[in-house]
Structure 1
C-alpha cells in the first residue's frame, strides 16, 4: 500500500503535488518523493519520513515545472530502511523515465533475472518498483525503435508490460519531454482515479479524496488494464491495454486502507463500512444478546462507521471510549513489535467513565496480528469494564497478502491455524465476533454490481492473479523487507509473540 499522484498543470505543480501527498499520507509514512519536469530536465527530491519532514522550502524551490508526480511509501518489498528505495525511481534510457507504483509484483525475482540475462538491464536495489520501471523502459524502447513516441507507442509498451508482469500495480510515470503515463494492472487490484481542475490541470491519484481535496473534479476511475497518457499540453488519451481485464479491487481498501471520504471504483468507502456494520450486527446477535451489552465503542478510526451502524441497528448507545493521539504513527506500519506494543498506549487513551462497570462491545475494522487487540482489551479491563466483547467488521485474516499489504506470512497472523475461540482467548476477550467472508463481499459488492469480484486473498486464500502458490509466497517473503533496523529489539518487523507456525 502506497499513495501515488501525477499532475500535468498550467503552472508550477510542486505545491499541488505536496498538498496531494498530504492527502495520501495515510497510505504510507515511511518515505516520500516528488519529481517535476521542466523542458526535458527532471528534478527530484525524495527521502525517508513523512511528507512534512521530507520537503522543506529549499527542496520545494528546487522542483520547478508544470508536470510532476509524487509518492508516499509504505514498504512491502525491498528494504524498508534504505534511502535508495524511496520512490520515484529514474532511468535515463530511453527518453528519461521516472516511475512510482502502488502494489506488489509477484514475479519480481524472475523478472529481475530476465532483465539481466535477456534485456541487459541492471537492477541496483531490492525494490520491485525498479524492476517494473526497467520492464517499462525496455518495452518503450522496443515500441519506439525506428519511430517516434506517441500515445499508441506508449500503449503498445504498456500492453507488453501487462504480458510480462504479474501482481498488483497502479503506476504513474513521467516520460521526459513527452508527458505523464498512468496505468493499472489487469485486475484493478490497486485503485487509481483521474480528474481535472477548472484551469485544465489533469491529475491522477490513488484516491478520489486527493482530487477533491486539491480542487479537482473526479472524472472516473481507471479501468483494470487501462492506460492513460497525458501530453504536456494536457491532452488525454486512453486505451485498454490488457488482453482479458477483470475488475477485482482489493477488498481491504474498503475495510481499512482507504480514507472513508474516498470513492474507489464507484463505491463509497464510507457506505461500504456502514454496510459492514449492518451485516456485523446480525453476527453479534447470534453470539451475544444485545441486552447483555451496555455500550458500543469503536477502536479509532476506521471502524467508526461500522460501529455506529451496528449500534443503531441493535438499539444500543454508541460512545467514544478511546481518544487517539494523532501525532503517533499508525501501528500497522511501524517497524518492530516492541515499538508496536508500546505505541498502542501512546496512541490511544481510555475515557474511564465509558467503561467502568459496563459490558462493552469494542468494534474494530479488522484483527490482523492480534497484538493491538490484546492491548486494547486489557486497557478496557483496566478502566473497569465488567465484560469486554470484541467484534471485527472484517473476517479472520488467515492468509498472507502478496499484493501490497504488510501481511506476509501465516505465522504472523493471529487467526491463521486457530479457531475463533482460540483467538478470543489469546486477545483476552469475553466474546469475539467476526464478519463472515461472503457477508463482507455482499455488503460491499452490492454498491457496484459491475465488479467482477474482489481480491479478498487475506480472508479466503484465493489469489486472483492465479499465479501464486505456497512456494511463490515463500520467495516473495524472502525478497521483501529482509533487513531490520539495528535499533529495533524485534527480529522481525511484524513478529507476533507466541504465533503458531503454520
Structure 2
C-alpha cells in the first residue's frame, strides 16, 4: 500500500420517489471537483438494479452524455458519487470509487474521504483470514470489514466497523435499501446532510447540496452514523465525539462559500 495522502469528495442521495439520480449527482460532483481531479465515479440503484460508472479523469471527462445515459435508471431512488485524490493506493482505475462488493447485505457500494492510519495491519489480518482485495485503496478494508458483519443491519455493521478503524474519514455506504453516512469521532473530514423534496442528500461540502436541490440541515456529527429508514433520518452515536477537525479544510481544501462545522 502507498503512503497516505489526503482528500476526496463524496456525495449520496436517497429519495422516496424516482428521480434523475445520475443527473443530480453529476451536478454535485462538479461542485466538488476541487477535492479530487484524479478520478470520478458514480453508483445508482432503483432497489433492484445496481449500476456503476467510474474512470480516471475530471468529472466532465468521465461522465460523458453516453455514460450518464447508461446510469439513468427509470426508477432510480438512490446513488453515491466520488471525486478522487489518492489517499492510500495508486492512481489506477481499479482504485476509482465507489468500490462495490457482493455481501450478505447484497451489493454494497462505498465512497470514502480520508484515510485509515491502521489500514495496513487491518489489511494483513483480513488477508490471513482469506480475504481477496481487488484494489490497493484503504477503502476496500472498510468494505471487507462490513462484508464480515452480514449478521447485522448495514447501520449496525458500520457502527461496529468504526470501533476497529483509526484515522480521519467520512464515508457513504449504499445497498439496495438505504444510504448510510458516517464520520470519524474526531470529525477530521466534513460531511453535510441536506433535505431533498422527498428524501435526503449527503455531501462533503454544503454547496454541492444546493446544486442537487437539497436544503442544508446539519453536519454528520463526529462519531455518528446516519441513515434513511422508511423516509426518516435515523441516527446512532457509534463512538464518543472528540472533535479535532483538520484546519486545512478551511484554509486549503474547502470552497470559499462552504460552511463547515
TM-score, L = length of structure 1: 0.48
- Contact preservation (8 Å) 2:181, 2:227: yes
Indicate the residue corresponding to 2:11 in structure 1: 5
Indicate the residue corresponding to 1:50 in structure 2: 58
After superposing on structure 2, the runs of 4+ consecutive aligned residues of structure 1 that deviate more than 3 Å are: none
Residue pairs, 1:166-315, within 5 angstroms: 166-176=166-176, 178-197=177-196, 199-231=197-229, 234-242=231-239, 244-265=240-261
Higher strand share: 2
CA separation in 1, counterparts of 2:151 and 2:28? 34
Deviation digits for residues 317-337 of structure 1 (CA, Å, limit 9, x no counterpart)? xxxxxxxxxxxxxxxxxxxxx
Please say which structure displays the higher CA radius of gyration: 1
19-28 or 105-114: bigger deviation: 105-114
Which structure's relative contact order is higher, taking Cα pairs within 8 Å and 6+ residues apart? Answer: 2
- Contact preservation (8 Å) 2:119, 2:138: yes
Label 1:212 to 1:12 Cα distance change in 2 as closer, same or farther (>3 A): closer
- Contact preservation (8 Å) 1:180, 1:229: yes
Following TM superposition, by how much is the alpha carbon of 1:169 offset from its aligned partner in structure 2, in angstroms? 1.3
- Contact preservation (8 Å) 1:155, 1:241: no
Answer yes or no: is 1:17 the counterpart of 2:28.
Answer: no
Indicate the residue corresponding to 1:417 in structure 2: none
Identify the match of residue 113 of structure 2 among 99, 102, 110.
Answer: 102
- Contact preservation (8 Å) 2:155, 2:180: no
Following TM superposition, by how much is the alpha carbon of 1:214 offset from its aligned partner in structure 2, in angstroms? 2.7
CA separation in 1, counterparts of 2:131 and 2:170? 23
Identify the match of residue 29 of structure 1 among 34, 37, 50.
Answer: 37
CA separation in 1, counterparts of 2:40 and 2:8? 10
- Contact preservation (8 Å) 1:223, 1:247: no
Gaps of 5+ in 1: 144-152, 266-502
CA separation in 2, counterparts of 1:154 and 1:246? 24
Deviation digits for residues 321-369 of structure 1 (CA, Å, limit 9, x no counterpart)? xxxxxxxxxxxxxxxxxxxxxxxxxxxxxxxxxxxxxxxxxxxxxxxxx
Deviation digits for residues 79-131 of structure 1 (CA, Å, limit 9, x no counterpart)? 11x1111001000112110101000111111111111223x321122100111
TM-score, L = length of structure 2: 0.92
Residue pairs, 1:337-416, within 5 angstroms: none
- Contact preservation (8 Å) 2:47, 2:77: no
- Contact preservation (8 Å) 2:94, 2:134: no
Higher helix share: 1
SS of residue paired to 1:5: strand
CA separation in 2, counterparts of 1:125 and 1:154? 22
Deviation digits for residues 286-319 of structure 1 (CA, Å, limit 9, x no counterpart)? xxxxxxxxxxxxxxxxxxxxxxxxxxxxxxxxxx
Identify the match of residue 137 of structure 1 among 134, 137, 147.
Answer: 147
